[in-house]
Structure 1
Amino acid sequence: MVAMDPSEPDTTQREARDLAELTGPGRVDIVRMALLGIDSGPREPADLDVDLHLSVEVDRVHHRPGAGVSVGYRVGYDDGGGARVNEYLVASTAPRLPESERVALLADGDRQVRVWRHPHDPALPGLAPACDAATVHGWLTDLGRPPAAPVRLDLVSYRPSRRAVLRAGAGDDSVFVKVLPPRRAEALYRRHEVLTDAGVPTPRVLACPGPGVLMIERARGHALAEAIAGAERNPGGLPGPDVLEAWLDSLPATVLELPARPSWADRIDFHAEAARAALPAEAGRIDRLETGLTELLARTPDGPKVPTHGDFYEANVFTADGGVSSVIDVDSVGPGRRSDDLGTMLGHVAVLPALAPHVYAHVPGIVKEWTAYFETRVDPVDLRARTAAVVLSLAAGTSPEQGAARLAVAEEWHADAQGRI
């Protein structure tokens, strides 16, 4: 099976159908059949135990247009002996997933759905050991950091078949365990090497204890989001826009030798399709925004390729005493446009007031100040168009209410860009 082009009507309709079935009432039958398939091999629906008292609650939905739908479920059922079993399962229509005995394959005509128990993700062979406290205890001991108490593991994030991040330990003694498909893990390790060798403030890779697993030190300082939230009571703790750009300036020229990754603006068709799937009632607005931004980006000057972070925003930037102390998630470091990094920062910060109005009521002033500085560094129209594209990319990964609010913010940036032509 090959990845599908999200621009094809059949693909859009197929994924809309998959999304509806994996999140709708049909999810219960999918999970029921998968449980039998994982445990006991193929069986007919008539063999099912009607007394399972099966409950299937949708936890998270991951939709990547053209690359399938994955849904995480909180599942509960009776084990037949009077005990209640609670598990986490994932169902996915993603193509090219590796075969595994730990995965149930459900086929229906031209569609295949694979279901597995967390943490047995077929694309992330390192996830199961990374979720085992005893195994991670051994990894930390091998690093010369044997825990004084049982290892505490917290799952920070999980995107089925793509990545997972766990925090091992607590406080200053914690490290992060990042799990990726093995080839992507090798590429990430190379990026960390380039930055560490150049002395760029970013966490070091401590070890690679298994296929696709990187143990990474804890970033120094606090997330920029905290400095933004507290900017009114502690203005000295908030780095200025020039300080943020100085970290980008510290990226070495060797970054230009790394493979380039498409920016959010480069994949505006992908993100617009995801937004339409998440906000079908707003499809017309999204169509107009996608068309307008595509036209704007085509006419703005294409600046020189420079070293870029690729995902430069307030959750990935850490600060201390008004400076940048570290920057995490360097998966996308490579050649690109400075306006994409600056637009990514502006776009993410611009949506904070809608997320927590009381905490971030003062943020529009910060955005205005940062925009005024950034537009002296890159083309002002290009900056605003790329900021709008970033905000559009954020519309699908949240609640419908937040998605609609982000769509409105993207429209404001687009209108501001058009007004400066």
Structure 2
Amino acid sequence: METIDAAEAPAASPEERLLRDALGDALEGELRVLSREPYGAGALTGFEETTAGFEEARAQTRYWYVDTSGRPVPEESGLVLGDPAAPQARIWLHPADPRLPALAAASFPDAAAALLARLGVTVDRAPELLVYRPGKRAMLRMRAGERETYLKVVRPDAAATIVDLQEALRGGGIPVPAITGWSALGIVLTEAAAGEPVTARLDAVDPARLLDSVEALQAAMGRVDTGRAARDSLALRDGWYRERLRAALDGAPGGEAAAARAALGALEAGIDAADPAALEVPAAELRTVHGDLHVGQLFVDGASAVTGLIDVDTAGLGDPVDDRAALLGHLVASIGLADDPDRARGYRRILGEAAGRWLGPAPQGGETASGETASGGAERTRLAHRLAVHVLAHALAPVERGELRVAAAQLGLGAAVLGREEAARAAGRGAARREGAT
């Protein structure tokens, strides 16, 4: 693996510069990018700050978030830069998320116990944070003996809507966990999902049966009327991801950076070559979709059939292709991140099956398990386009952390899945020749 010293690391992002300028000496440790996603007119970016102590056990970690969206919040909980009515940025220290006011209470044992007691739930262990998407939602596991309860923290004005959405899906036969309580403070309590996580059965799951079940699940979801739209397609933000990736990779030295730039160029060429007319989604093809589907949301039984589906907050009317692109993109990213070869192989088996049936040559006649005519054409064009954008989105954080090996692996695998591997290799060879000539 290529090592990168401080002089060769990618330049600090605008959000990191804002954080350093605002906090100055209050930042005592090294910063590492945790996450970044476009939001409003800017982005929401998370940083991990680790402060080393005299003993390793005394090392401290803090999590800072920088919000450049320009969007208002109900009440400030951190530092505001610029005009409070239209801030340049706001900065907060986790768990003081201004859009998730219940998160702070849910994050500490005594406060969480008191909060849940009001809903008739007893816990005997500290909350365990499983998922956190700043400004949007968090998921914590609460335990009492052998019983597990899952606490979802959301924006207060979204709690009732999420409850209605989840109940509509359960009524339509979708295997989402049962809700056991909720509050307008912005919390929703659910039972555990049925079955085992796919991510815990990567060595045993049957990819073909799993994908058959996913297609059947998509068809069932498509018949549920949720009365709302799904979250916007990631394809709408492709320009943002491309700009940030190019800026982060610009001038970075070494073979891994060159490979990442070459694969990025190949993916961008594929995005630009797509027929704009084929990217339009016919109204007749819109269905209820998950909105953020990936293997981490799926639970299965011993026969690899889906028995549980979680994190349905983003569900609503949308294009089923978006769910497939999200699932494929997450598999590509997971393979690039996997340190365990067995886990990587498990993800690859599912990716190979999914890419083969959704991006491969269209079957002659007949229908897929989801009831759609498998005629290729525009649907595959949309899927390829959106998958490319998902790959770019997943690769951004590793690039900005300086993990160029991971980013190059993700971008390269994405190019290979989309049949642009040779273009990426040719670009890489050209880049190597140019670097050798300078």
| Shared fold per TM-score greater than 0.5 | yes
Partners of 1:309 and 1:333 within 8 A in 2: yes
Separation in structure 2 between the aligned mates of residue 279 and residue 89 of structure 1, nearest angstrom: 25
Residue 120 (1) aligns with residue 96 (2): yes
The 1:140/1:381 distance shift into structure 2, 3 A limit, reads: same
C-alpha distance after superposition, 1:190-246 (max 9, x if no partner): 32121122231011222223422222222122221233x213xxx559743211111
Residue 207 in structure 1 maps to residue 177 in structure 2: no
Aligned partner of 1:128: which letter? A
Which of the numbers 89, 108, 112 marks the counterpart of 1:136?
112
Aligned to 1:314: 295
Alignment counterpart, residue 327 of structure 1, candidates 309, 316, 329: 309
Q: Which moved more, 1:310-319 or 1:329-338?
A: 329-338
Alpha-carbon distance, 1:407 to partner: 1.3
Aligned pairs for 1:216-255 (under 5 A) are: 216-227=190-201, 229-231=202-204, 239-251=209-221, 253-255=223-225
Distance in 2 separating the partners of 1:277 and 1:166: 35
Residue 411 (structure 1) aligned to one of 412, 415, 419: 415
What per-residue deviation string (whole Å, max 9, x for no partner) do you get for residues 101-160 of structure 1?
64233449x97443333322222111112123233324444444423xx33211223333
Residue 96 of structure 1 aligns with which residue?
Answer: 71
Q: Assess if the C-alpha contact under 8 Å between 2:213 and 2:306 holds in 1.
A: yes
Change over 3 Å in CA distance of 1:87–1:385 after alignment to 2:
closer
Q: Give the partner amino acid of 2:389.
A: A
Pair 1:384-2:359 in alignment: no
Between the aligned partners of 1:219 and 1:287, the Cα distance in structure 2 is: 41
Contact 2:176-2:310 at 8 Å conserved across structures: yes
Q: Deviations over 1:331-360 (max 9, x none)?
A: 221122222222322232234433336112
Q: Assess, with a 3 A threshold, how the Cα gap between structure 1 residues 133 and 237 changes in structure 2: closer, same or farther.
A: farther
Letter of the 1:114 counterpart: R
Between the aligned partners of 2:272 and 2:319, the Cα distance in structure 1 is: 16
Greater shift after overlay, 56-65 or 128-137?
Answer: 56-65
Q: Evaluate the alpha carbon distance shift between residue 410 and residue 146 of structure 1 in structure 2; reply closer, same or farther with a 3 A threshold.
A: same
Superposed, 1:160-309 pairs within 5 Å as 160-169=134-143, 173-227=147-201, 229-231=202-204, 239-251=209-221, 253-255=223-225, 257-280=227-250, 281=252, 286=264, 289-296=267-274, 298-300=276-278, 302=281, 304-309=285-290
Residues in 1 aligned to 2:145 and 2:357: alpha-carbon distance in whole angstroms: 36
Write the letter of the residue equivalent to 1:191.
Answer: L
User: Contact 1:293/1:414 (CA < 8 Å) preserved in 2?
Assistant: no
Contact 2:333 2:395 in 1 (8 A): no
User: Which stretch of the first structure deviates more once superposed, 391-400 or 240-249?
Assistant: 391-400
CA distance in 2, matches of 1:241, 1:277: 37
1:154–1:166: 8 Å Cα contact kept in structure 2? yes
Gap runs ≥5 in structure 2? 1-10, 253-259, 369-373, 424-438
TM-score by length of 1: 0.74
| TM-score, normalised relative to structure 2 | 0.72
AA paired with 1:340? Answer: D
- What is the deviation of 1:268? 2.3
Contact 1:172/1:218 (<8 A) preserved: no
Higher RCO, 1 vs 2 (CA within 8 Å, ≥6 residues apart)? 2
Name the CA shift for 1:100/1:353 in 2 (closer, same or farther; >3 Å).
closer
Question: For residues 344 and 89 of structure 1, what CA distance do their matches in structure 2 show?
Answer: 27
Among candidates 16, 19, 35, match of residue 15 of structure 2: 19
- Contact 1:255–1:333 under 8 Å retained in 2: no
- 1:268-312: CA deviation from partner (whole Å, max 9, x where unpaired): 223323433544455675355335314426243745112211212
Is the Cα–Cα contact under 8 Å of residues 64 and 274 in structure 1 kept in the other structure? no
> What is the aligned-residue RMSD (CA, Å)?
3.7
Question: Counterpart of 2:122?
Answer: 146
2:29 alignment partner, SS class: strand
Do the aligned residues in 2 keep the contact of 1:70 with 1:92 (CA within 8 Å)?
yes
Equivalent of 2:336, from 334, 354, 357? Answer: 354
| Partner residue, 2:4 | none
Offset, 1:326:
0.7
Matched residues in 2 for 1:85 and 1:366: separation?
39
Identity %: 26
**Which residue type is aligned with residue 327 of structure 1?**
L
Q: Secondary structure at the match of 1:220?
A: coil
User: Which amino acid letter does the alignment assign opposite residue 139 of structure 2?
Assistant: V
Secondary structure of 1:315's counterpart equals helix
